Structure 1
């Protein structure tokens, strides 16, 4: 993989986008690299949480304009389809994904961050969808995920104006979970990731599925899905370990993911 690096710390994977000279702008090669990294993640049963971040001054500054400018309507549709496929794979990973946003998250970068489950940002991070100023619409799910996260009216405002917002404003509208000083960001992200990884992995995965599926359907169907997930947990060794430890007033030594 030319522009993406995957490392592992215990049960936590760190997926780093590494194209700093282009502010980590998304191009076809990078999308292919991300796709390959997702293959590795899905094949690794020892990974319970993923951190996704970028090198340098940007998380991802957007899609590569120099490359996109050469596209026709037909090739642009293929590029958008592939970008959406990759981002949907991130969104639908069975394990939680934490976006650690260290700088610019614009256009495709904002879309990539929104495909993650949790977003932690540096105080100097910036967010936005500047596509209309380039004569295009968002192409990797921005018109769909942004209103789901921040509401219809605010999404309309941000996409129609193309303006960028600070990490603090992003947190106020619900786009970002928490904002940290730059020097604390990765340490806080790792702390959260390892805390999640210490919980019962099956229960975490099923909770993610319930939330993701439930947001796409009606409350009655979602509640039925949740009840099935809840029941499934009662067949796991991790449920027995967790409840026994609680009743015996002690901490769980470790969950076994079974």
Structure 2
């Protein structure tokens, strides 16, 4: 599938979307934003896709909006473009597949906002993060205030948005923006390892777990608990609740084989 500013690659159950404006730090102009929205819609309709990986071509993940592009906008362009950004972000967050942001280099503004919608974020130790919109006299449009507070809290979100400084991967990890930090040369290997261990899970259970996590996140506890009430497992036998995984739990050797990789993953 061919786009001008992104690379869309589908292999088996894995789709990769790579931002491809390296000479502009992979900044999102209107054309690239339209392509991103279209690509995410294709993933949404692809029932066979189990993983979606976002990356940036070159030494930048995504520097956010292309500010130079703003100079050609008409009066209402900002409203409609912001609405598209928000819809795209919500689509990514609601995808049934597992989403992974593989971040190297600069991840600021809209780039950072996009990572907030992903299930996992793996970043290199040279990645740089921030919300610099304040210095261009604009405010974040698709999560840099709202979603970011849910990860880092109000105090840190105010600091990053009102000052506009950059911060390193260690700070991003400390404030729940990153799951894993690695060397640039190891980024692909780390993504593949994550896909391998999560891909071994039951796909229906995985989808339901993600749905419960997302839907309950913004609810009061007593309401959110309703999502955790067990439903009849899809692979249980008639008249029984037990799944194959539950049956394996009763078999020590099989149980050990199921847990071998998971229990020690990312424990170094």
Please tell me whether residue 5 in structure 1 is matched to residue 4 in structure 2. Answer: no
Q: For residues 244 and 14 of structure 2, what CA distance do their matches in structure 1 show?
A: 22
Partner SS for 1:77:
helix
- After TM superposition, the score normalised by the length of structure 2 is 0.87
1:237 CA drift (Å): 5.6
- Structure having the higher Rg: 2
Match of 1:242 in 2: 245
1:4 CA drift (Å): 2.0
Q: For residues 14 and 236 of structure 2, what CA distance do their matches in structure 1 show?
A: 22
Match of 2:91 in 1: 89
1:141 CA drift (Å): 1.7
The 5 Å alignment of 1:1-258 reads 1-227=3-229, 230-232=230-232, 234-236=233-235, 240-248=243-251, 249-250=253-254, 251=257
Match of 2:264 in 1: none
Q: For residues 245 and 49 of structure 2, what CA distance do their matches in structure 1 show?
A: 20
1:69 CA drift (Å): 2.6
Matched residues, number: 249
1:46 CA drift (Å): 2.1
| Runs (5+) with no aligned partner, structure 1 | 253-258
Q: Deviations over 1:113-168 (max 9, x none)?
A: 11212111011111100001001111122111111111110111111101110111
| Runs (5+) with no aligned partner, structure 2 | 259-268
Partner SS for 2:185:
helix
Structure with more relative contact order (C-alpha pairs < 8 Å, separation 6 or more): 1
Q: For residues 127 and 17 of structure 1, what CA distance do their matches in structure 2 show?
A: 17
Q: For residues 191 and 9 of structure 1, what CA distance do their matches in structure 2 show?
A: 16
Partner SS for 1:231:
coil
1:72 CA drift (Å): 4.3
Q: For residues 248 and 10 of structure 2, what CA distance do their matches in structure 1 show?
A: 29
1:217 CA drift (Å): 0.9
Q: For residues 149 and 9 of structure 1, what CA distance do their matches in structure 2 show?
A: 32
Partner SS for 1:142:
coil
1:235 CA drift (Å): 2.9
Q: Is the 8 A contact 1:87 1:115 kept in 2?
A: yes
1:9 CA drift (Å): 4.1
Q: Is the 8 A contact 1:11 1:194 kept in 2?
A: no
Partner SS for 2:76:
helix
